[in-house]
């Protein structure tokens, strides 16, 4: 729901990554330019809805898995427009006192962040508007330290974020800076669109994004795996999103080509 109190810098005449994704997920926090771009994506990549759902379901499963393993702190960068269940809702279902910090650089996420802050009474959540390309600004933010204790393990969740970070921004160094800042025994949770399974559709979507003025850098398996160098990948390693520790009763699955999203969860060595 777009309300009347939104900031003026939303540039509603142009598509935005977060809003196009929201539209594809069936959300309502988007504008005509976002919907047009979303429809064009659906034409070029008809299974994009399956892909975005598989990506969200991976976030749910990975968060549940880590919460059940005792992780109580989560730093979710590139959180996106709130979509239920949000990460803190998944984590706090298992651990009510779980603490979650969300980060995104899109002004519409800031404007719509209220659902991200309505956590369980025992837990804490916060939202920091910041750009991941300056990771120190996130790591040094006082609000982050109000909520998270970085000397204890944290699940660092970068889900669907890195495709929007070009090589110019040194994404590997950026992720390493974030991982180096968290305690041993922390986890890195990532997902990333890939051209490996359906190169034609993914190349067409990439061109569309670039023609619309949106960033998109897809990465193949080796490029994705490089983000986990020096970390201990959990089973089943790097796989297509729908394959990662799937619950037996999960209905929506899809093939690797339909999903075209790699995922992985790794532990920082102790
Ligand atoms: C595809 S959405 C993913 C949302 C959510 N993590 C999920 O997987 O459902 C990507 C999000 O990353 C955010 N984003 C893109 N570039 C960013 C940057 N440089 N810093 C912080 N957030 C960024 C976008 O605004 C958007 O909300």
What does the alpha-carbon distance between residue 108 and residue 241 come to, in Å, rounded to a whole number?
A: 27
Indicate which atom in ligand 1 lies nearest the CA of residue 83: 9
**CA 98 – ligand 1 centroid, Å:** 22
Indicate which atom in ligand 1 lies nearest the CA of residue 25: 9
What was the pLDDT predicted at 269?
74
Contact indicator for 108, 7 with CB cutoff of 8 Å? no
What was the pLDDT predicted at 1?
44
**CA 78 – ligand 1 centroid, Å:** 3
In a domain? residue 40 = yes
In a domain? residue 7 = no
In sequence order, the 6+-apart residues with CB closer than 8 A to the CB of 222 are none
In sequence order, the 6+-apart residues with CB closer than 8 A to the CB of 2 are 28, 29, 31
What does the alpha-carbon distance between residue 54 and residue 139 come to, in Å, rounded to a whole number?
A: 29
What was the pLDDT predicted at 2?
47
Tell me how many domains the chain contains.
Answer: 1
In a domain? residue 224 = yes
What was the pLDDT predicted at 102?
97
In a domain? residue 11 = no
Q: What are phi and psi of 261, to 5 degrees?
A: -130, 120
Range of the domain at 152: 17-267
CA terminus-to-terminus distance, the chain: 44
Residue in this structure with the two tokens 């490029």, named with its chain if needed: 223
Tell how strand 99-104 and strand 232-233 pair up. Answer: unpaired
Residue list, ligand 1 pocket, CB within 6 Å: 17-18, 21, 55-56, 59, 77-80, 104-106, 109, 131-133, 159-161, 164
Q: What residues are paired with 189 via a beta bridge?
A: 157, 265
159 to each of 30, 41, 191, 233, how far by Cα in Å? 20, 19, 5, 16
Nearest-CA residue for ligand 1 atom 20 is 131
In a domain? residue 75 = yes
The domain that contains 217 carries what CATH number?
Answer: 3.40.50.150
In a domain? residue 231 = yes
In a domain? residue 225 = yes
In a domain? residue 149 = yes
Determine how many CB atoms are found less than 10 A away from the CB of residue 23. Answer: 24
Question: Over the chain (270 residues), what is each successive 10-residue block's mean pLDDT?
Answer: 57 92 94 96 97 96 97 98 94 97 94 85 94 97 97 98 98 98 97 98 97 95 98 97 82 87 92
């Amino acid at each position: 729901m777009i309300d009347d109190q939104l900031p003026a810098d939303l540039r509603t005449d142009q598509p935005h990554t977060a809003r196009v994704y929201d539209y594809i997920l069936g959300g309502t926090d988007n504008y005509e330019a976002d919907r047009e771009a979303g429809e064009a994506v659906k034409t070029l990549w008809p299974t994009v809805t399956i892909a975005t759902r598989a990506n969200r379901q991976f976030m749910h499963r990975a968060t549940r898995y880590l919460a059940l393993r005792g992780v109580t702190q989560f730093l979710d960068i590139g959180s996106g427009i709130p979509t239920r269940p949000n990460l803190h809702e998944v984590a706090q279902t298992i651990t009510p006192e779980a603490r979650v910090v969300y980060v995104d650089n899109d002004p519409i996420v800031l404007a719509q962040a209220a659902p991200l802050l309505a956590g369980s009474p025992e837990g804490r959540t916060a939202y920091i508007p910041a750009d991941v390309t300056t990771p120190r600004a996130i790591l040094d933010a006082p609000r982050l330290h109000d909520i998270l204790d970085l000397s204890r393990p944290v699940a660092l969740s970068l889900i669907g974020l890195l495709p929007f970070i070009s090589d110019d921004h040194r994404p590997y160094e950026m992720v390493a800076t974030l991982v180096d800042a968290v305690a041993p025994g922390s986890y890195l949770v990532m997902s990333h669109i890939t051209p490996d399974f359906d190169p034609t559709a993914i190349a067409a979507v990439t061109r569309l994004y670039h023609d619309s003025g949106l960033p998109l850098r897809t990465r193949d398996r080796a490029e994705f795996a490089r983000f986990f160098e020096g970390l201990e990948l959990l089973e089943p390693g790097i796989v297509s999103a729908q394959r990662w520790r799937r619950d037996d009763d999960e209905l929506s699955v899809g093939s690797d080509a339909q999903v075209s999203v790699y995922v992985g969860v790794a532990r920082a060595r102790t």
